[in-house]
């Protein structure tokens, strides 16, 4: 049976889980009629990598690329259901060979037209290991990916045998085919992620240049016109020919390293959108009282926060009982209530409840607060010698809960725990990547696309760029492969659930809480829609 992407939406999402809660609704996206022009300022953070879909794997840069790039597919602002964008159609008979037909006349911000070859060249470049693209693992399902990897992972000594994916074929200017190694049931859903964005000829003219990553050229409604350490400025892409143009003439992505400073600007009217409400404002809904219910929303989003066990810490190596004891000694219920005012929900697993396939209580004992059992397990595991460091970034309001966690560990286990505050999320991720952190460090994940798979493969798959725990389990890998190949959603989800359950054997990370995103906006703007990815849809907002 021939499938088209629009037929997949109902199978991918659970409508009942994707609802707004709390003080304001997030009604279906409006159709702005006027109000175009003006300038808005959004709270931002420092991108870790260049603004390139093949490299950006964190929200700080991802929020910018969401406005700058267009992909074959986009995710509905309200439901997160996949919808066609650059693609006219994506068709398959067997979930293994896909024929992609592009819309004609879709333009980049430099005025050149998006062609089939742009996708194929970009995905080949991203897959070729010597290029060092952080998002390369997203292309692993495509046939021939293994031939673009370096033998023994040593690209200095041994280059890959091939430079192009055998599973990609350009048919004509507006058609190409994708062949995966095994049937990949949710490939169409994945194709809306920025890693799969096409790249123009301007990139390939000098792919090693820093300039493209600073001022990227994309096919989205906006383009970056300035990029400094304190702000990233976007203006409309005058060549945009898609169906979702922006209505604002200038978007300033202002970079903050202190969440309180951003909130002060919001209250003072100097910021138009803020998705990081300081913990003291969440208590008693003080932030809502300050701004009013018509300027705030609390939305269930596909976001989870975890504590990653440092793979550089020898005391945690091969000691899952110690990891479990640490998790069991943390009072998530009290922390989420007293510090976050209920805007977080204690996690019982590694997958967000907003996606189909979620299963409760996958984490087991490490997510059930029990000080007595935690101390018993801690002593049996040999304890932790010296000072345990808990590292969190200082630009996201994490200090208070980190201190609370350290207090739990001191009081319940007798651990000498201290909080290490890095300047920003980029610094934390870089230090984690470079093996400079011991103990535990905070990490979070906002779904790239609405699938249980997205909470597992990018974070725990062997060699994935966001696998900061260095988790490596052959049986886990096998289950991911089997799940991706299943064309029956219920069976695929069961296999993904089995893979998730395996994480409780060694606890590479400790689930902390699912995030319910509180967001606020100024009196200057209308048509504010917060997506299931927890960010404002820039194409919808207007200035009054």
Residue 279 lies in a domain: no
pLDDT tens digit string along 411-469?
999 999 999 999 998 899 999 999 999 999 999 998 888 889 999 999 999 988 889 99
Phi, psi (rounded to 5 degrees) for 463: 85, 0
73 SS3 class: strand
Residue 266 lies in a domain: no
**Local confidence band at 144 (pLDDT 50, 70, 90 cut-offs):** very high
pLDDT tens digit string along 242-260?
999 999 999 999 999 888 9
Q: What is the pLDDT of residue 395?
A: 85
Distance CA(300)–CA(434), nearest Å, equals 33
Contact indicator for 358, 345 with CB cutoff of 8 Å: no
Encode 458-526 in three state secondary structure. HHHCCCCCCCCCCCCCHHHHHHHHHHHHCCCHHHHHHHHHHHHHHHHHHCCEEEEEEEEEEEEECCCEE
- Res 15 pLDDT > 70: no
Could you tell me if 249 and 325 lie in one domain?
no
- The count of structural domains within the chain is 2
pTM of this structure: 0.78
Could you tell me if 249 and 310 lie in one domain?
no
Residue 281 lies in a domain: no
Distance CA(114)–CA(93), nearest Å, equals 26
Between 1 and 501, residue with greater pLDDT? 501
Distance in angstroms between the alpha carbons of the first and the last residue of the chain: 49
DSSP letter for 103, please: P
Q: What is the pLDDT of residue 532?
A: 85
Burial environment of residue 196 by CB neighbours within 10 A (0 to 12, 13 to 18, 19 or more):
buried
Could you tell me if 526 and 475 lie in one domain?
no
- Res 29 pLDDT > 60: no
pLDDT tens digit string along 58-87?
889 999 999 999 999 999 988 888 999 999
Residue 45 lies in a domain: yes
Could you tell me if 67 and 197 lie in one domain?
yes
Q: What is the pLDDT of residue 437?
A: 96
Between 185 and 118, residue with greater pLDDT? 118
Q: Determine what percent of the chain is predicted with pLDDT higher than 90.
A: 78
The residues, ordered by sequence, that sit 6+ positions from 312 with a Cβ below 8 Å of its Cβ are 435, 436, 437, 438
**Local confidence band at 534 (pLDDT 50, 70, 90 cut-offs):** confident
- Res 341 pLDDT > 60: yes
Could you tell me if 498 and 538 lie in one domain?
no
Distance CA(541)–CA(282), nearest Å, equals 25
Distance CA(278)–CA(534), nearest Å, equals 16
* Averaged pLDDT score across all residues of the chain: 90
Q: What is the pLDDT of residue 8?
A: 38
Could you tell me if 434 and 353 lie in one domain?
yes
Residue 533 lies in a domain: yes
- Res 176 pLDDT > 60: yes
Cα dist from 405 to 119, 331, 432, whole Å: 45, 8, 20
Could you tell me if 348 and 477 lie in one domain?
yes
Q: How confident is the model over 472-492, as a mean pLDDT? A: 91
Residue 294 lies in a domain: no
**Local confidence band at 12 (pLDDT 50, 70, 90 cut-offs):** very low
**Local confidence band at 2 (pLDDT 50, 70, 90 cut-offs):** very low
Range of the structural domain that residue 241 is part of: 3-254+522-543
pLDDT tens digit string along 372-390?
999 999 999 999 999 999 9
Q: Cα-atom radius of gyration of the chain, to the nearest Å?
A: 23
Could you tell me if 197 and 320 lie in one domain?
no
Q: What is the pLDDT of residue 464?
A: 86
Residue 260 lies in a domain: no
Residue 288 lies in a domain: no
Distance CA(43)–CA(56), nearest Å, equals 18
Task: Read off the CATH number of the domain in which 193 is found.
Answer: 3.40.190.10
Could you tell me if 150 and 188 lie in one domain?
yes
Least confident stretch, 164-168, 397-401, 402-406 = 397-401
Could you tell me if 534 and 457 lie in one domain?
no
Q: What is the pLDDT of residue 9?
A: 36
- Res 154 pLDDT > 90: no
Task: Read off the CATH number of the domain in which 315 is found.
Answer: 3.10.105.10
**Local confidence band at 4 (pLDDT 50, 70, 90 cut-offs):** very low
The residues, ordered by sequence, that sit 6+ positions from 296 with a Cβ below 8 Å of its Cβ are 23, 24, 287, 288, 518, 519, 520, 521
Smallest CA-to-CA distance from 63 within 46, 86, 84 is with 46
**Local confidence band at 134 (pLDDT 50, 70, 90 cut-offs):** very high
DSSP letter for 235, please: E
Could you tell me if 214 and 318 lie in one domain?
no
Could you tell me if 346 and 476 lie in one domain?
yes
């Amino acid at each position: 049976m021939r499938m088209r992407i629009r037929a997949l939406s109902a199978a991918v999402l659970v409508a009942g889980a994707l609802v707004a809660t709390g003080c304001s609704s997030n009604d279906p996206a409006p159709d702005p009629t006027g109000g175009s022009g003006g300038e808005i300022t959004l709270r931002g953070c420092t991108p870790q990598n260049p603004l390139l879909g093949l490299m950006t794997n964190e929200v700080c840069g991802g929020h910018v690329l969401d406005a700058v790039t267009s992909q074959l597919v986009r995710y509905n602002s309200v439901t997160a259901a996949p919808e066609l964008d650059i693609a006219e159609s994506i068709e398959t008979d067997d979930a293994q060979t896909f024929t992609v037909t592009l819309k004609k006349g879709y333009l980049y911000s430099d005025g050149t037209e998006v062609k089939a070859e742009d996708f194929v060249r970009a995905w080949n470049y991203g897959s070729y290991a010597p290029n060092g693209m952080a998002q390369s693992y997203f292309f692993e399902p495509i046939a021939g990916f293994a031939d673009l990897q370096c033998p023994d992972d040593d690209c200095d000594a041994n280059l890959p045998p091939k430079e192009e994916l055998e599973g990609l074929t350009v048919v004509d200017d507006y058609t190409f085919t994708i062949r995966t190694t095994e049937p990949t049931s949710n490939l169409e859903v994945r194709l809306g992620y920025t890693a799969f964005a096409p790249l123009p000829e301007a990139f390939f003219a000098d792919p090693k240049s820093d300039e493209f990553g600073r001022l990227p050229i994309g096919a989205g409604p906006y383009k970056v016109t300035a990029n400094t350490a304190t702000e990233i400025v976007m203006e409309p892409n005058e060549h945009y020919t898609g169906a979702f143009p922006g209505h604002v003439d200038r978007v300033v992505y202002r970079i903050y390293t202190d969440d309180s400073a951003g909130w002060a600007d919001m209250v003072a009217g100097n910021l138009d959108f803020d998705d990081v409400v300081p913990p003291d404002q969440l208590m008693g809904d003080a932030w809502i009282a300050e701004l009013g219910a018509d300027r705030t929303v609390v939305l269930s989003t596909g976001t989870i926060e975890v504590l990653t066990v440092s793979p550089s810490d020898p005391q945690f190596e091969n000691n899952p009982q110690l990891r479990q004891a640490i998790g069991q000694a943390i009072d998530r219920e009290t922390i989420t209530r007293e510090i976050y005012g209920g805007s977080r929900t204690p996690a019982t697993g590694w997958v967000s409840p907003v996606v189909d396939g979620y299963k409760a209580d996958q984490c087991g004992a490490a997510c059930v607060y029990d000080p007595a059992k935690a101390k018993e397990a801690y002593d049996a595991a040999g304890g932790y010698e010296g000072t345990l460091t808990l590292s969190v970034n200082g630009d996201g309001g994490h200090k208070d809960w980190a201190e609370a966690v350290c207090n739990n560990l001191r009081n319940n286990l007798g651990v000498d725990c201290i909080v290490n505050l890095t300047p920003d999320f980029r610094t934390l991720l870089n230090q984690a990547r470079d093996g400079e952190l011991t103990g535990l460090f905070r990490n979070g994940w906002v779904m790239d696309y609405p699938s249980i798979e997205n909470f597992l493969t990018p974070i725990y798959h062997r060699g994935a760029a966001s696998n900061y725990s260095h988790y490596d389990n052959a049986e886990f890998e096998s289950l991911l492969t089997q799940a991706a190949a299943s064309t029956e959603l219920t069976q695929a989800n069961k296999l993904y659930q089995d893979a998730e359950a395996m994480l409780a054997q060694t606890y590479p990370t400790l689930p902390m809480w699912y995030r319910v995103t509180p967001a606020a906006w100024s009196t200057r703007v209308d048509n504010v829609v917060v997506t299931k990815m927890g960010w404002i849809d820039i194409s919808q907002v207007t200035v009054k």
